[in-house]
Homo-oligomer: A and B are copies of this chain.
Amino acid sequence: MTDVLSHIDGVPGFKVAGVHAGLKDDVALDFALIVSDSPCTVAGVFTTNQVKSAHVLVDMERLQKKRTGYRAVAVNTKCANACTGQQGIDNALQMARWVAEKVGCAEDEVLVMSTGVIGTQLPMDKIKRGIELASEKLDAGQDAWKRTAEAIMTTDTRPKLASLKSEDSYTIAGIAKGAGMIAPNMATMLGLVVTDAALPEADILPALQKASDRSFNCISVDGDTSTNDTVLLLSTGKVAATDIDAPLEAVCRSLAQGVVRDGEGASKFITIQVFGAESDATAKAIANTIAISPLVKTAFYGGDANWGRIMMAAGRAGVALDPKNVKLWVAGGEVERRELLLFSDGMPTDYSEERATAIMHEPSIYVTLDCGQGKGHAVVWTCDLSHDYVSINGHYRS
């Protein structure tokens, strides 16, 4: 498998555009359009939140009816179009209809995504302007992809792009946004992955689900789950491909980790690996609880080797855990490594406090927890909780 790049040189069959439609008050890009020359097979995974955006509801309904024939995806920022009732549904349908007119396809061959404030109606004049502007700027090149990735950003500080060219000469490429409201179980973000590799209708959803479970569903910023989470995978099916799972997962993982690295106010990238749990699900519950614990996250922020909080969080995950069997290591970096054993046999080891503090001050930290109970395993990526997270979210709408 070739390396994952953090830019997109183009994907055969796709044209994209990111424009300023006036949704954001400044001049920033705020509306994106992705168009395929030919009908695509599509899979989507969506938020598990009971309160779903009208955009999500429209996409879910369309993809339940059919998984083939899609030509375009439009994305608006600044307005989540959630908690907006029937008018929100009507607006989402109208947005798709306008896109269909410009692209020259049927309205049910268009999907929509949105992100922004919950509880306000879409400003339809700006949406219309965005569609008009974007449809004139569609382009297949690297700069157009970068602008498109920028146009779906909210509190993100940088665009997230990933691409991979396989030896079979197909391309998989994706963009993502999401900096807060990032939690496991549908990664509270928008992601769009496109490929010219053939992914038959029967295979595309399982492929996306599997890749998501090992990427977008393994990240956490604050434990909150948005009303709008959507990841779409579009395949033109032009290039015969074998074993696309690993490349697809690699692209999704690169995007997911990019989201954590750019977590709101994040200053550290933290990997939580749990093994020896009774099951993979149990391991994930423990890893997630550590990852969303405000006390753990603030200790990472402060560079305080207060590892007792990791044990506290592991213990409150709602699953059985016997501290006597637990081992806990920390190391610097992003590669699995068990450098410093902090806790074993129910009590602290004779570790070097100086070394523990030094590790806690590294930009990337690798935490390994062995439950000593079974064979369950999970990895979760997260970031710390900083003053900036509070600043960003205390005044998000203003």
Complex contact A321–B51 (CB within 8 A): yes
Complex contact B316–A48 (CB within 8 A): yes
Complex contact B386–A390 (CB within 8 A): yes
Residue A140 at the B interface, CB < 8 A?
A: no
Complex contact B312–A226 (CB within 8 A): yes
With A49-B315, A315-B50 known as contacts, the answer to whether A119 contacts B222 (CB < 8 A) is no
Q: How far is the CA of A248 from the CA of B312 in the complex (A)?
A: 30
Residues of chain B within 8 A of A390, CB atoms compared: 298, 301, 385-387, 389-390
Q: Identify the closest chain B residue to A313 (Cβ).
A: B224
Chain B min CB distance to A282 (Å): 11
Complex contact A224–B320 (CB within 8 A): no
Question: Scoring A residues 384 to 398 as 1 if CB is less than 8 Å from chain B, else 0, what string do you get?
Answer: 011101110111111
Complex contact A312–B227 (CB within 8 A): yes
Complex contact B316–A397 (CB within 8 A): no
Complex contact A82–B51 (CB within 8 A): no
Residues of chain B within 8 A of A309, CB atoms compared: 118, 224
Residues of chain B within 8 A of A393, CB atoms compared: 294-295, 298-299, 302
Chain B min CB distance to A88 (Å): 7
Complex contact B396–A307 (CB within 8 A): no
Complex contact B312–A224 (CB within 8 A): yes
Determine how many copies of this chain the complex contains: 2
Complex contact A295–B385 (CB within 8 A): no
Most central of A86, A302, A324 by chain B CB within 10 Å: A302
Main secondary structure of the interface of A (DSSP, over half): loop
Residue A87 at the B interface, CB < 8 A?
A: yes
Chain B min CB distance to A343 (Å): 6
Residue A223 at the B interface, CB < 8 A?
A: yes
Residue A169 at the B interface, CB < 8 A?
A: no
Residue A293 at the B interface, CB < 8 A?
A: yes
Complex contact A343–B83 (CB within 8 A): yes
Interface size class on chain A is 35 or more
Contact of A346 (CB < 8 Å), options: B85, B225, B322, B397: B85
Q: Identify the closest chain B residue to A344 (Cβ).
A: B85
Interface residues of A in 259-293 (CB under 8 A from B): 292-293
Q: How far is the CA of A180 from the CA of B88 in the complex (A)?
A: 40
With A50-B323, A312-B118 known as contacts, the answer to whether A83 contacts B346 (CB < 8 A) is yes
Residues of chain B within 8 A of A345, CB atoms compared: 85
With A51-B323, A316-B224, A320-B50 known as contacts, the answer to whether A311 contacts B83 (CB < 8 A) is yes
With A83-B346, A312-B181 known as contacts, the answer to whether A304 contacts B396 (CB < 8 A) is yes
Interface residues of A in 99-138 (CB under 8 A from B): 117-120
Complex contact A87–B299 (CB within 8 A): no
Complex contact B83–A50 (CB within 8 A): no
Complex contact A225–B117 (CB within 8 A): no
Listed A/B pairs (28) with beta-carbon separation below 8 Å: A49-B312, A50-B316, A50-B321, A51-B315, A83-B323, A84-B346, A86-B346, A88-B347, A118-B307, A118-B309, A119-B308, A119-B343, A119-B347, A119-B348, A181-B312, A223-B293, A224-B293, A224-B295, A294-B294, A295-B393, A299-B393, A302-B396, A304-B394, A304-B395, A304-B396, A385-B390, A386-B390, A387-B390
